């Protein structure tokens, strides 16, 4: 009898299992595919490894800007196989590290599909596992809409998902990307940087519909400037092998590519849970503030609960669920979950957008500071972007921070900590930031929310 069985070994599941063991519980982890889940094996980590390759390639192309001579740009080549090998090496090292952590903490790992018999019984192969508490961390998968011809194109290997894009044998000369969300933007960034002619088709009027509008439009303009063709207000009609037929501004238009990347959202993996009696809908399993489902002692974390599809949130939910099992009332403030987009430059945000703050009735002050006025950004040749702070006017409480910068995903943590402590722009402005650093733009924007920035 286990105290906790976790089904799903992604960043939510394996963290939950380790935390349970650390709190003295007898814990088991069930995983049908690869430890680390989508994030470590086919998502977050491999894409970031390839994006680094692409960034290095772009840096070499800009060698003359930095005073480096002798680079024969016409002879530069992309060794996609070697890039893939480096990606696989990074993934293997991290996955092996997680396996080692599970073993070190005494978590029993069962590889195979977990079949739910009831809330206390999981069958894996010929093994019957019993548990007092169950944590469901089965994740999500790409959502494939019923578009005429799309499935046929996928069967022929032309239309692919993000996982397929990581397994390509070569960099395609032309690619059409369906969708304008985070995954679409990151792959558009990657392949455009490697020389692919990328066309991104977006149904709404702009990419990244859940991102602060000013930030999203700034990145959209930059991607277009870098050569990505972005078609907005595009209604997908059908797919004919390598051709996508759409309606744009009342006219039928065709776009073709060697590969068609389908990135039109994800759906939770809730199949096979009927015996548990848990409540779920198309977004995911319903949970309360403590991540418990309608069935006592059954919890759901990560993508499968339909809140946000973020690896770092899944990990935080895993810890939270285990703490609740251990008797500590623990919950997550979902208003302070940071989001990151690994484009060139990166986007990162936490808290409310400007529009959301106004909709909720706050008297807001908005302050922005550009990278073009930052010494470190200019020295590094990375002056595209800005930081935007949304604060409550009377007391200066920070409501949201949005960053477009080369290291935005690292910089956003300052804002997360500040907001977690209910910090104000006065606190951030008062905190001495090292010089020269990109982080100074956050301090400068805080000064701007109070009065005026110093260097702009």
Active site residues: 435
Is 225 annotated as ligand-binding? no
Is 184 annotated as ligand-binding? yes
Is 285 annotated as ligand-binding? no
Is 351 annotated as ligand-binding? no
Is 452 annotated as ligand-binding? no
Is 114 annotated as ligand-binding? yes
Closest CA to 205 of 238, 226, 234: 234
3-state secondary structure the chain: CEEEEEECCCCCHHHHHHHHHHCCCCEEEEECCCCCHHHHHHCHHHHHHHHHHHHHHHHHHCHHHHCCCCCCHHHCCCCHHHHHHHHHHHHHHHHHHHHHHHHHCCCEEEECCEEEEECCEEEECCEEEEEEEEEECCCEEECCCCCECHHHHHHCCCEECHHHHCCCCCCCCEEEEECCCHHHHHHHHHHHHCCCEEEEECCCCCCCCCCCHHHHHHHHHHHHHCCCEEECCEEEEEEECCEEEEEECCEEEEEECCEEEECCCEEECCCCCHHHCCCECCCCECCCCCCECCCCCEEECHHHHCCCCCHHHHHHHHHHHHHHHCCCCCCCCHHHCCEEECCCCEEEEEECCHHHHHHCCCCEEEEEEEHHHCHHHHHHCCCCCEEEEEEECCCCEEEEEEEEECCHHHHHHHHHHHHHCCCEHHHHHHCCCCCCCCCHHHHHHHHHHHCCCCCC
Is 157 annotated as ligand-binding? no
Is 10 annotated as ligand-binding? no
Is 70 annotated as ligand-binding? no
Is 303 annotated as ligand-binding? yes
Is 63 annotated as ligand-binding? no
The rounded distance, in Å, linking the Cα atoms of 353 and 158 is: 37
Is 387 annotated as ligand-binding? no
Is 136 annotated as ligand-binding? no
- Binding region for NAD(+): 179-186, 265
- Binding region for FAD: 48, 114, 138-140, 303
- Binding region: 48, 114, 138-140, 179-186, 265, 303
């Amino acid at each position: 009898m286990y105290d906790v069985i976790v089904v799903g070994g992604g960043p939510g599941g394996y963290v939950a299992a380790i935390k349970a063991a650390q709190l003295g519980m007898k814990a088991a982890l069930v995983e049908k595919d690869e430890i680390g889940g989508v994030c470590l094996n086919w998502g977050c980590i491999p894409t970031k490894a390839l994006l680094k390759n692409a960034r290095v390639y772009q840096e070499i192309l800009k060698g003359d800007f930095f005073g480096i001579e002798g680079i024969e740009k016409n002879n530069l080549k992309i060794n996609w196989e070697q890039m893939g090998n480096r990606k696989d090496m990074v993934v293997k090292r991290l996955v092996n590290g997680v396996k080692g952590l599970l073993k070190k903490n005494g978590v029993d790992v069962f590889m195979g599909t977990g079949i739910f018999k009831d809330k206390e019984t999981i069958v894996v192969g010929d093994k019957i596992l019993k548990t007092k508490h169950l944590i469901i961390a089965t994740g999500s998968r790409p959502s494939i809409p019923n578009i005429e011809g799309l499935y046929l194109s996928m069967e022929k290997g032309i239309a692919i998902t993000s996982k397929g894009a990581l397994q390509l044998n070569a960099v395609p000369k032309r690619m059409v990307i369906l969708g304008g969300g985070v995954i679409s933007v990151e792959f558009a960034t990657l392949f455009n940087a490697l020389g692919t002619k990328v066309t991104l088709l977006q149904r709404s009027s702009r990419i990244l519909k859940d991102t602060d509008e000013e930030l999203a439009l700034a990145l959209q303009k930059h991607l277009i400037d870098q050569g990505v063709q972005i078609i907005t207000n595009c209604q997908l009609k059908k797919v004919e092998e390598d051709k996508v037929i759409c309606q744009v501004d009342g006219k039928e238009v065709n776009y073709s590519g060697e590969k068609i990347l389908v990135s039109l959202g994800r759906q939770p993996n809730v199949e096979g849970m009927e015996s548990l009696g848990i409540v779920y809908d198309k977004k995911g399993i319903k949970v309360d503030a403590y991540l418990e489902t309608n069935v006592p002692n059954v919890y759901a974390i990560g993508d499968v609960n339909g809140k946000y599809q973020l690896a770092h949130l899944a990990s935080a939910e895993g810890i939270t669920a285990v703490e609740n099992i251990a008797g500590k009332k623990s919950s997550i403030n979902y208003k302070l979950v940071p989001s990151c987009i690994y484009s060139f430059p990166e986007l990162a945000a936490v808290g409310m957008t400007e529009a959301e703050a106004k909709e909720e009735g706050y008297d807001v002050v908005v302050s922005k500071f550009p990278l073009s006025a930052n010494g470190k950004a200019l020295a590094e040749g990375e002056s595209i972007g800005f930081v935007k702070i949304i604060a409550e006017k009377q007391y200066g409480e920070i409501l949201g921070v949005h960053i477009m910068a080369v290291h935005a995903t690292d910089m956003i943590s300052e804002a997360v900590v500040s907001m977690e402590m209910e910090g104000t722009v006065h606190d951030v402005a008062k905190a001495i930031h090292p010089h020269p650093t990109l982080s100074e733009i956050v301090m400068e924007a805080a000064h701007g929310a109070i009065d005026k920035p110093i260097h702009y």
